[in-house]
Amino acid sequence: MAESRHWQTALAKPVSNSKWEDSLNYEQNQKEEKQLIEKIVETKRVAKVVKGGRNFSFSAIVVVGDKKGKVGVGTGKANEIVDAIRKAKEKATKAMFDVPIVRGTIPHELIARYGASRVMLKPASPGTGVIAGGTARAIFEAAGIENILCKSLGSNTPCNVVKATVIGLKSMRTVAEIAKLRNKTIAQLTGQEGS
């Protein structure tokens, strides 16, 4: 089989024959994509009113995750529902982010807002399970969060609830991250230093 060769350029940067390496990256990306789970949060028919009547199309919200702390949300629109779901999945895969998970739950309590939607997220003890509405539940299950309490406050429009939940999960911080931001040790932060 052909071996990848590295050549030195004028600036002494190694350059490789990229076709072979690109095919390896493509295969690796395909394997990663197969391991992702996909949950359809909402599909709906939408209409654009024009001079000659209404143009109908479909809209979809899809959540993609690996159940190991990575999750992404995407929306798609197309004339066919299958195409809308495919577009949403592609966008969700590109928009994946890491969620800090501590012992199967989130690190701390939080209220996140988006538009008129508010979502309250609380860590739960082991064995509690995912206590959340259908739209937020899909995100937690795709991310791999096993125990969490979630309450949707205000508007319960699926699009806004999903966005509020994503904002909340993105703003989560572990104790180690907070300690690093404040230039303190974890013991100083938790008040256990010198006891």
Q: What is the pLDDT of residues 2-53, one digit of tens each?
A: 565 665 655 555 555 556 566 666 666 666 666 899 999 999 999 999 999 9
6 within 8 A of 16, measured Cβ to Cβ = yes
The share of the chain scoring above pLDDT 70, in percent, equals 81
The set of residues, in sequence order, having a beta carbon less than 8 Å from that of 171 and lying 6+ positions away, is 110, 112
Is the pLDDT confidence value at 59 over 90?
yes
* pTM for the full predicted model: 0.78
Cα–Cα distance measured from residue 164 to residue 135, given in angstroms and rounded to the nearest whole number: 11
CATH architecture classification, 35-94? 2-Layer Sandwich (3.30)
Q: Cα dist. 32→62, 66, 70, 188 in Å?
A: 17, 9, 12, 40
Task: Quick: pLDDT tens for 153-184.
Answer: 999 999 999 999 999 999 998 888 888 888 88
Partner residues linked to 109 by β-bridges? none
Domain boundaries, the chain: 35-94, 99-179
Residue 18's SS3 state is helix
Cα–Cα distance measured from residue 31 to residue 128, given in angstroms and rounded to the nearest whole number: 32
Total Cβ atoms within 10 A of residue 124: 19
> What is the band of 143 on the pLDDT scale with cuts at 50, 70, 90?
very high
Class of the CATH domain delimited by 99-179: alpha beta
Is the pLDDT confidence value at 69 over 60?
yes
Residues 139-155, mean pLDDT to the nearest whole number: 94
- What is the DSSP code (8-state) at residue 147? S
The region that residue 158 occupies, defined by phi over 0 for left and psi between -120 and 50 for alpha, beta otherwise, is alpha
